[in-house]
């Protein structure tokens, strides 16, 4: 978002007014991206609508701030820079301090506190726990109250401690119910508080100031303001430790790098430059006396100097002018002896008289920078140095005005600054994208963990299924065995049945077998021949209801006796065979004994009596005798 969007600006103004959060100094590109992300999460598409949404849903402020204020952090984040801080910078910083004097440290933008506790660990290791408790105070601040509340707990899950060596973990943390708590006695040295870097006053007289991965969210102007506050906050010789992606190019007058790559700087004290004096050569030295025409030589050398120079006596008279001064300002040897204030150059292109007085008074160089000077339709830039000239006895001889042409240097500096700004922007953009990627990465990580859990569950389900499968397999094997046995039995039974059938078929007499209900079970070939009914027609029929030439009802008494177990009974009945011929049939009825003592039916053997056997007369009389 390069062109300001009025709706977006209105939204920022509302956040400031309603909640005191001033995001106007944040970089619009990443800020816009984050607000847009939140808007799409709640399903709102325009800034105006989102403003309405915030008014209706006040709880949305927290969600928005959580999205905008990126809280990614970790213990000893960028270990290389921390190692350097612990091994090189802190020992020097401590050595420069008076014995037992207090040490003040500020972690600005501390998020959930890992950075502040990392500092506490480093100092405690260097000083020992007792001296650490006595001397060190770590002030840890952030704008995000939720993060501060978390930081105050000083309780972290195991995975947060992955950057710590086992010794540090053991020495500085107590383990409770799967979480790690920073040692209480050392914890008291760290003081958490809310501080908005944009709006609040800084903490003062600090020896070490950390502001890591926070400045980059602000635009250049706000960064400059915050950095000048940091300069104020630091004590003399204080150290500033920034994030590895942060730039400090445009503020090099406030801080000097201790290690630029690791973004560790020392405060530059704001004092005036030391007096610079230009002493003339001692007069009448033996060497000079031997040289002939030395004054002439000096004069020529002065005239030929490529920079414009004018020397003015302590009385304010022009004493010397270089040729370049004539070219640039039209001042020449003709003006020597005239009061300098009468020349145009005394007030154009810059008011010089005031600086001449100042240099004479303070006996130090007065510098006038950024002096614009029209040259051939273009603008040149000068830096004018007013150098006091002091005699060996300390008396003032005059001043030398030196006009340095810095146009080329200035153009280069402007180009360089522009290039640096572009680089800075690109770099910071990259870093904030990186932070976002870290967040996304964490989200992906947790999705992967969920998938891993699901996978484990699937694996265990799979194992259960495999076990069930094995059980089913063995049940299947058992069933197969039973099936095989049944098939064998069935074959045996069929063989027995065939054998029985053959026996029944081979008998000369008709045979039928009935069960206890008198339903026909067996009906052999001779029975078919005798009575003209096929086996399929009679099996399952009631014997006594058969419509055949045999008076079956007369056989009931025999059958009843057989069913109660009485031995074979025999009778003869007059009957009519299938051809309609009257015959006498001898019937023997025997109980059917399966495996127990009780008969399960009766066997009736029916045979036509031979001629001459006793038979009934025409009336079909019957006679029953035991067989």
Ligand X SMILES: C[S@@+](CC[C@H](N)C(=O)[O-])C[C@H]1O[C@@H](n2cnc3c(N)ncnc32)[C@H](O)[C@@H]1O
Residues at the contact surface with ligand X, assessed by CB under 6 A: 69-73, 77, 109-111, 115, 142-144, 147, 196-198, 212-214, 217, 243
Count the alpha carbons within 13 Å of 596 in the hemisphere toward its beta carbon: 5
Preceding peptide of 349 cis, ω within 30°: yes
In 279-418, DSSP assigns E strands to 308-313, 318-321, 366-375, 378-390, 396-405
Residue with tokens 């952030």, as numbered in its chain: 142
Whose Cβ is closer to ligand X: residue 106's or residue 340's? Answer: 106
- Would you say 258 and 265 are in contact if contact means Cβ atoms under 8 Å apart? yes
Q: Is 313 exposed, middle or buried (0-12, 13-18, 19+ CB in 10 A)?
A: middle
Question: Which DSSP string do the residues of 178-204 spell out, in sequence order?
Answer: TEEEE-HHHHTTEEEEE--TTTSPPP-
Closer of 142 and 335 to ligand X (Cβ): 142
Q: Look-up: residue for tokens 């040289």?
A: 291
User: Nearer to ligand X by C-beta: 77 or 251?
Assistant: 77
Reported as half-sphere exposure (CB side, CA atoms, 13 A), residue 445 has a value of 7
Min dist CB 359 to ligand X, Å, is: 44
Q: What is the dihedral of CA 93, 95, 101, 104, to 10 degrees?
A: 10
Q: Residue 572 in contact with residue 614, Cβ under 8 Å?
A: yes
Nearer to ligand X, 245 or 585 (CB): 245
CA angle 73, 76, 82 (to 5 degrees): 130
User: Closest CB to ligand X among 71 and 219?
Assistant: 71
Nearest to 53 by CA among 62, 66, 42: 42
* Least separation in angstroms between CB 144 and ligand X: 4
Please say which residue, 109 or 349, places its beta carbon nearer to ligand X.
Answer: 109
User: Quick one: 69 or 382, whose CB is closer to ligand X?
Assistant: 69
Shortest separation between residue 107's beta carbon and ligand X, angstroms? 7
Between 149 and 361, name the residue whose CB sits nearer to ligand X: 149
Structure tokens belonging to residue 624 = 């029953």
DSSP-assigned beta bridge partners for residue 575? 583
Q: Where are the beta strands (DSSP E) in 109-222?
A: 136-142, 155-157, 173-176, 179-182, 190-194, 206-211
Q: Smaller CB distance to ligand X: residue 26 or 340? A: 26
Cβ partners under 8 Å of residue 160, min gap 6 = 74, 75, 114, 180
What does the alpha-carbon distance between residue 354 and residue 361 come to, in Å, rounded to a whole number?
11
Look at the alpha carbons of 91, 97, 98, 101 in this order and tell me if their dihedral is positive or negative: negative
- Minimum Å gap between C-beta 72 and ligand X is 5
DSSP state of 208: E
User: Mutual orientation of helices 6-19 and 60-68 as an angle, nearest 10°?
Assistant: 110
Q: Closest separation between CB of residue 208 and ligand X, Å?
A: 14
Beta strand 623-626 pairing with 569-576: antiparallel
Closer residue to ligand X in complex, CB, 106/255: 106
Instruction: Between 141 and 524, name the residue whose CB sits nearer to ligand X.
Output: 141
Work out the burial of residue 292: count CB atoms within 10 Å of its CB; fewer than 13 is exposed, 13-18 middle, 19 or more buried: exposed
For ligand X, the closer of residues 238 and 243 by Cβ is 243
């Amino acid at each position: 978002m390069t062109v300001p969007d009025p709706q977006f600006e209105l939204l920022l103004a509302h956040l400031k007014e309603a909640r005191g959060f001033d995001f106007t100094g944040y970089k619009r590109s990443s800020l816009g991206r984050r607000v847009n992300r939140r808007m799409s999460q709640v399903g709102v598409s325009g800034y105006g609508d989102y403003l309405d949404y915030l008014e209706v849903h006040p709880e949305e402020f927290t969600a928005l701030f959580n999205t905008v204020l990126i809280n990614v952090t970790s213990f000893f984040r960028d270990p290389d820079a921390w190692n350097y801080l612990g091994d090189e910078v802190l020992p020097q910083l401590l050595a420069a301090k008076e014995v037992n004097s207090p040490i003040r440290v500020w972690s600005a933008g501390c998020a959930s506190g890992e950075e502040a506790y990392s500092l506490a660990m480093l100092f405690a290791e260097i000083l020992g726990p007792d001296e650490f408790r006595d001397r060190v105070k770590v002030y840890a601040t952030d704008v995000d109250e939720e993060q501060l509340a978390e930081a105050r707990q000083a309780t972290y899950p195991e995975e947060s401690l992955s950057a710590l060596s086992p010794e540090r973990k053991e020495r500085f943390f107590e383990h409770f119910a799967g979480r790690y708590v920073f040692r209480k006695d050392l914890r008291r040295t760290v003081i958490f508080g809310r501080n908005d870097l944009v709006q609040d006053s800084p903490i003062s007289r600090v020896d070490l100031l950390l502001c890591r991965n926070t400045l980059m969210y602000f635009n250049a102007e706000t960064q400059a303001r915050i950095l000048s506050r940091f300069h104020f906050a630091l004590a003399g010789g204080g150290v500033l430790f920034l994030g590895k992606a942060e730039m400090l190019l445009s503020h090099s007058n406030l801080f000097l790098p201790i290690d630029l790559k690791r973004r560790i700087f020392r405060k530059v004290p704001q004092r005036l430059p030391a007096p610079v004096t230009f002493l003339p050569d001692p007069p009448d030295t033996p060497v000079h006396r031997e040289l002939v025409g030395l004054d002439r030589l000096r004069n020529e050398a002065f005239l030929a100097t490529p920079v414009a120079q004018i020397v003015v006596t302590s009385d304010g008279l022009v004493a010397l002018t270089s040729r370049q001064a004539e070219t640039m300002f039209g001042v020449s040897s003709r003006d020597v002896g005239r009061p300098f204030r009468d020349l145009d150059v005394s007030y154009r292109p810059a008011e010089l008289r005031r600086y001449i007085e100042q240099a004479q008074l303070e006996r130090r160089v007065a510098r006038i920078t950024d002096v614009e000077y029209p040259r051939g339709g273009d603008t040149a830039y000068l830096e004018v140095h007013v150098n006091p000239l002091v005699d060996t006895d300390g008396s003032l001889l005059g001043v030398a005005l030196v006009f340095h042409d810095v146009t080329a240097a200035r153009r280069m500096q402007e180009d360089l600054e522009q290039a640096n700004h572009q680089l800075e922007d690109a770099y910071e953009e990259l870093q904030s994208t990186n932070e976002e990627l870290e967040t996304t990465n964490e989200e992906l990580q947790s999705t992967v963990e969920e998938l891993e859990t699901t996978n484990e569950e699937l694996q265990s389900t799979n194992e259960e299924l495999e076990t069930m499968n094995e059980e089913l397999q063995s049940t299947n094997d058992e069933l197969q065995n039973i099936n095989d046995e049944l098939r064998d039995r069935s074959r045996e039974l069929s063989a027995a049945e065939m054998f029985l059938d053959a026996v029944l078929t081979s008998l000369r007499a008709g045979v039928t077998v009935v069960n206890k209900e008198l339903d026909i079970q067996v009906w052999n070939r001779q029975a078919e021949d005798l009575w003209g009914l096929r086996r399929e027609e009679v099996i399952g029929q009631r014997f006594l209801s058969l419509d055949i030439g045999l008076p079956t009802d007369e056989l009931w008494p025999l059958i009843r006796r057989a069913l109660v177990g009485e031995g074979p009974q025999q009778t003869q009945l007059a009957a009519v065979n299938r051809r309609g011929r009257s015959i006498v049939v001898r019937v023997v009825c025997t109980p059917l004994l399966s495996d127990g003592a009780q008969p399960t039916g009766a066997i009736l053997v029916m045979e036509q009596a031979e001629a001459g056997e006793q038979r009934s007369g025409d009336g079909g009389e019957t006679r029953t005798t035991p067989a």
